[in-house]
Structure 1
Amino acid sequence: MNPSPQGIVGILVGECAGPLPFAESAFCRQLCHIGNQQKMTIYVFCPGWVTSGRRSITGYTFESGKWIRKQFPAPEIIYDRCISHDKNQQRRKQRCLEILNDLQPFVYLTRGLAGKWSVYQALMKHRLFAAYLPNTVRYEGTIQLDNWLSLHGGEAFLKPQNGSHGKRTLLVKEMNADLGGGLALTGRDSRNQLFRRKFRSRQDGLEWIHRFIGSRIFLLQPYLQLNTSKGEPFDVRVLMQKNENGLWSMTGMAVRAGRKHSLTSNLHGGGTAHKALPFLTKELGERNGITAVQIIRKLSEAIPKHLESQFGRLAELGIDFGVDRGERIWILEVNSKPGRSSFFRIGDMQGARKSVENPIQYARYLLLRKTLA
């Protein structure tokens, strides 16, 4: 058996209000538990807790059945789960990482991906993926959107470049197109609440959308019919992770289905999770369902290595696929900070367990290589 590297891993998360001052406490508790089994020091910290001039880091660890706040040495490896929603948060996090690197050069367990637009452009470079990507452009204004609607059957789907959980997504549909009519909008706001609006004036609708987008970068795509026979939106989430040997493997695959007419299938928007193969065979038939799973698996196994060649080392990716009413498969999004609740919800306990174990096992692999180098 290989010796334990006795490493120090810091889990970087965002601050939040509540009984504990940091996000993802349940996930972090599981990571601490697995780290303890590996005889590794695992602690949780936030960007604002790291200050220049101090040799130790304030953090939390879970031991003896409770969270304990204390001082820790600078981490050898950082597992970054911190999502920056604006430039101020990004600068704060960057400053935190600079201070930590001055204390002790650390290894980044995984690099973040540079937004949906950059990922789309990277995937388009590969012939295999290009055939499965929906036509995507950056939103540039009302004239562009007006022309897009005219060229795409009166429909458009807009999503933020750095959005998550389906927030601020927007479906635009023409009303009474033959009369040059208005627009019907279905979307989710910044709190992930579903809303609907209708504009009898097309120009009023376009201007409202422009204000809704504001200064944010949005992507413009065709509206894909990614619904069940009952009209429920769904997608297929695949979790790819590096394991204890530093190799990519598929941890699990699950379908996320939203409520009828709810626009997105994200679980944060009230969706449900299902085992992928039974769900797809029910919707597509046995033969087509099996074929869909095989294609999704093939794409999922190829995407991580390609994105690593573009962005640097990665440790895990959540890859979302759509299957339209014509049974065509689409690569929708790739997320470098994926959730994993789908596997718990469908009862895939092996996948759920591995989804938590793999980041620590991969960190251990990196530490062991460093120790033996």
Structure 2
Amino acid sequence: MTAEGMTIGLYVASIEMHAPQEEPRLPEPAFYKQLAETARRKKIDFYVFSPCEFNADNGQLQGYRFLHQRWEKDICKLPDIIYDRRFCKNTEEQLACRSALQAIAARKPHIILNGTLPSKWEVYEALASDERIQPLLPATQRYSHGAMLRSRLSAPGSGLFLKPASGMQGKGALLLRWHTAGYLTISGRSKGNLPFQRRLGSLEELEQWLARFIGNSSYIIQPYLQLQLKTGEPFDIRALVQKNTQGRWRVTGLAARCGQTGSITSNLHGGGGVRSAKELLIAEYSEAVNDRLLKQIHEISLYAAEQLEQRFGRLAELGLDFGIEQGRRLWLLEANSRPGRSAFRRLGFERCAARSLERPLGYAQMLARRLHTPLITPLPVLDRSRYDNVQEVLP
């Protein structure tokens, strides 16, 4: 098999079908369509599937290919490369996805293109152990009970940020603030990603409310950072870093994500918008500040990607979120192993948008070549010794 003739299965947690003749409702339809068209140009067999499309009893997989401008179900070869884009909603989906992967692997070896990062707390611990990255991280603790907030919210004007250790898209994030007038406010996004605000009269009320809202979920606590534009909107800078065809980390592009006034997040799924990072930073600060910050973001993005890969195994791409406090202080806020890339098309950055699709496919081709090309020359047939192909895990 050549790298061009390989099969890539994009793996999702679930695919909705409401009627037999309807197209499937895919989690990221625009992205998958663009990826399918890019794969076709590269002569890669590409399809989308979930655990429901694989029959563990007979080993048959029926994936969705993008044909004739629509997704059509078809019998597919088991994948050589699995591009993992799972966003599991619950434990049941996680178990189903894991079971299907194990059953596929038992029938045919494959490579997982991009690994998964663990919880935000574990990622924080890994990055905080690096002396170069640690100063850029907001002080973070695991949330265990409401009483631990008392010392951190003791002074009027103080604030704390709580977010799910395994959350995404800003869901469940909370901003707690103690106001000089003697009351507390909770601003945040529900677990359905809807904005809300509560006013409470005491820390006791806060502890009771948090116990109900958080339940058994795992949360982390960080200080409230002033990461707003002059006009008051929250913003951050998203850096998309990806492996190229040589397996080297490269910054594909940057975008500024701006939330709505009064929102505590700038996430696009929460109603935020996008702007050119360079144009925003020059407008907010100066060209000199822009040059310094973007250079630092590029350098830290590449370095952090290397450190996370060494700690957690192969990764193909990462979204790294940076906050900027008062135009001077840079913070590394979060790392995401399932990054989006719609911001580039929204901004008209067609070259970055195209590269964001080509790079994971090009890296997959490189892995396929290494998987199917012997790195040790076999001895003559006369000698019946046999050597397995060697796969380089972290090229």
TM-score range, shorter chain: over 0.9
Q: Distance in 2 between matches of 1:59 and 1:140?
A: 43
1:307 corresponds to: 308
Equivalent residues of 1:15, 1:21 under 8 A apart: no
Question: Does 2:342 align with 1:333?
Answer: no
Cα deviation for residue 368 of structure 1 reads: 1.6
Q: Deviations over 1:315-346 (max 9, x none)?
A: 00000000012520000000000000111111
SS at match of 2:133: helix
The amino acid that maps onto 1:97 is L
Name whichever of 203-212 and 135-144 sits farther off: 203-212
The alignment's TM-score, normalised by the length of structure 2, stands at 0.90
Question: Does 2:58 align with 1:59?
Answer: no
Q: Do the aligned partners of residues 86 and 4 (structure 1) sit closer, same or farther apart at CA in structure 2, a change above 3 Å counting?
A: closer
Q: Deviations over 1:225-283 (max 9, x none)?
A: 00001111000000000112221111000100111111111111111111111111111
Find 2:95's aligned residue among 91, 102, 108: 91
Aligned residues: 369
SS at match of 1:147: coil
Gaps of 5+ in 2: 18-22, 375-395
Q: Distance in 2 between matches of 1:86 and 1:4?
A: 35
Cα deviation for residue 21 of structure 1 reads: 3.7
1:34 corresponds to: 38
SS at match of 1:331: strand
Q: Do the aligned partners of residues 4 and 175 (structure 1) sit closer, same or farther apart at CA in structure 2, a change above 3 Å counting?
A: closer
SS at match of 1:367: helix
Equivalent residues of 2:175, 2:188 under 8 A apart: yes
Q: Do the aligned partners of residues 117 and 76 (structure 1) sit closer, same or farther apart at CA in structure 2, a change above 3 Å counting?
A: same
2:48 corresponds to: 44
Cα deviation for residue 167 of structure 1 reads: 0.8
Find 2:141's aligned residue among 137, 143, 146: 137
Report % sequence identity. Answer: 38
Equivalent residues of 1:239, 1:253 under 8 A apart: yes
The amino acid that maps onto 1:13 is V
1:365 corresponds to: 366
Question: Does 2:329 align with 1:321?
Answer: no
Structure of larger gyration radius: 2
SS at match of 1:219: strand
Find 1:126's aligned residue among 102, 109, 130: 130
Name whichever of 69-78 and 20-29 sits farther off: 20-29
The amino acid that maps onto 2:305 is P
1:244 corresponds to: 245
2:282 corresponds to: 281
Gaps of 5+ in 1: none
2:229 corresponds to: 228
Name whichever of 201-210 and 146-155 sits farther off: 146-155
The amino acid that maps onto 1:200 is G
Cα deviation for residue 182 of structure 1 reads: 3.3
Question: Does 2:12 align with 1:8?
Answer: no
Equivalent residues of 2:171, 2:193 under 8 A apart: yes
Q: Distance in 2 between matches of 1:16 and 1:43?
A: 13
Equivalent residues of 2:63, 2:76 under 8 A apart: yes
The amino acid that maps onto 1:145 is L
Name whichever of 79-88 and 158-167 sits farther off: 79-88
Q: Distance in 1 between matches of 2:47 and 2:339?
A: 20
Equivalent residues of 1:185, 1:197 under 8 A apart: yes
Q: Distance in 2 between matches of 1:220 and 1:322?
A: 16
Q: Do the aligned partners of residues 339 and 235 (structure 1) sit closer, same or farther apart at CA in structure 2, a change above 3 Å counting?
A: same
Q: Do the aligned partners of residues 152 and 47 (structure 1) sit closer, same or farther apart at CA in structure 2, a change above 3 Å counting?
A: farther
After TM superposition, the structure 1 = structure 2 runs for residues 73-92 of structure 1, keeping only pairs within 5 Å, are: 73-92=77-96
Q: Distance in 2 between matches of 1:288 and 1:354?
A: 27
Equivalent residues of 1:13, 1:24 under 8 A apart: no
SS at match of 2:27: coil
Q: Deviations over 1:148-191 (max 9, x none)?
A: 222795311000011111111000011347xxx43111000012
Name whichever of 257-266 and 65-74 sits farther off: 65-74
Cα deviation for residue 77 of structure 1 reads: 0.7
